[in-house]
Every structure is written in C-alpha cells, then in structure tokens.
Amino acid sequence: MNAAGETAVVTGGGSGIGLAIARALADGGYRVTVTGRDEEKLRRTGFAHAVMDVGDRASVERAAAQIGPCDIFVANAGAALTAPALKTSDEAWNAMLSVNLTGVFLCARAVIPAMVERGRGRFIAVASTASVKGYAYSAAYCAAKHGVLGLIRSLAIELAGTGVTANAICPGFTDTPLVEGAIDGLKERTGRDEAELVAQFVKGNPMKRLIDPDEVADAALWLAGAKAASVNGQSIIVDGGETIA
C-alpha cells in the first residue's frame, strides 16, 4: 500500500505504544486519527481524534462512523491488571476480556467490511508476549491476549484474497504507562520493591531491558506498507528474544 493519502486509525492512541505507532504512521505519510476514552489526552497528541471505548459496541460503531473508512486500523487499546488466577474476580475477568479481546473484535467488525468493499486494508492488533506464553498473576490478561491471536488468524483466512490482511504484533514488556501500572499493582499485592519488580520484568529478556515503544511502532509501520502485502495471519514478536530464551 502507498502511504500517500492513506488513512490510519490507532485505538488507545493517547499514550504509550499507541502514540508511538500514531507518530510512526504520520512520519510515514499516513493521515492519522487516534481514539481513546480520554478526550483531553487525545487532544494533546495533536492528531485528529475520536472518543471511543473499545469495549462498548455503540461507542465503537459511533466513532467508526465519525471517522469514516480507513486504510490502516491498529487495534492497540488495552488494559492490564494483576491478581492470582483463582482470586480473580468476575468483574476483573470480564474487564480484561472486554478491553483486550472483545474490543479487538468489535473494532474488526466495525471497520473491516469497508476495507473489503474498497479492496484494500490492513488490520493490525497489538497483542503481547502474553499471547504466546503464560505469566503468573496475569491469567485474565493472558487469556484475553491468547484470544486475540486466534481472532487474527481466523480473520486472516477469511480475508485472504480480498486485499485486506490481519496481523498481530506481540511486544514484550515495554516502557509504557501500562507496564508502570502493572508494576504498581504487583508492588501493592506482593509488597516487593519496585526496582526488584522491574528487574523481574526484564529478567526473561536476553537483552535485559524494556522494549522501546518506537520499536513496536516500526513493526506496525512495516505491516501497514506495501512490502507486507503477503504477510497475513502472523504474530510479529518484538521481545528481545524472551519467548525463545
């Protein structure tokens, strides 16, 4: 696909990985709209924006209608919480699935039909290394993120030959507010020191560091482009080697 004149939408684009992806796409020549629940945060990005709660069907459909057809859609919005698996409340379980899995599905259902009608498009989900492995105290999050890959793979098969592709990016622990929140949650629940928890987060990464959001954004920019036309149903893992170590 040629970036000139192409439109891109990034959910959860107000900060972290989403904002990094929005900036990379804009630098690549795409006209970018970011979405999220906090309009003031979206406004501060400087991008066109629309308020969207990905876990709410009406909100997703309303924002999609407001934005109009797009060429690139990055389903990035997500949330994380930490709790022992068997002490995870119904509310926490449902919240994790709503944002991290159902939200991707609702967005796909809202935007892909117009892509198919136009004969071109890229649907990119920001998943996680939690899509391909388990983590203690993250059962609900891991279950939701595993589901994202199943959804993407099914979409890819159904969309083959339409000019539309579906892929996922699976970042490892990335230097974002989401990871900061996860560390804070673990600190509260376990009483462990923050520095110790940060070291624990990067322990499995052979590079011994958090992933930079721009590294994830570069993967999204590549998937959006013409050279990735035959990449379909894939999970691009950006984790410093964690999942193979």
Which residues carry out catalysis?
141
- Rounded distance between C-alpha atoms, residue 22 and residue 213, angstroms: 11
Return all residues near 140 (Cβ < 8 A) that are at least 6 apart: 81, 83, 88, 92, 93, 95, 96, 97
Matching residue, tokens 């709410």: 56
Report the number of secondary-structure helices (H) and strands (E) in the chain. 9, 7
User: By the 8 A CB rule, do 171 and 153 touch?
Assistant: no
User: By the 8 A CB rule, do 78 and 12 touch?
Assistant: yes
- Both structure tokens of 135: 């983590």
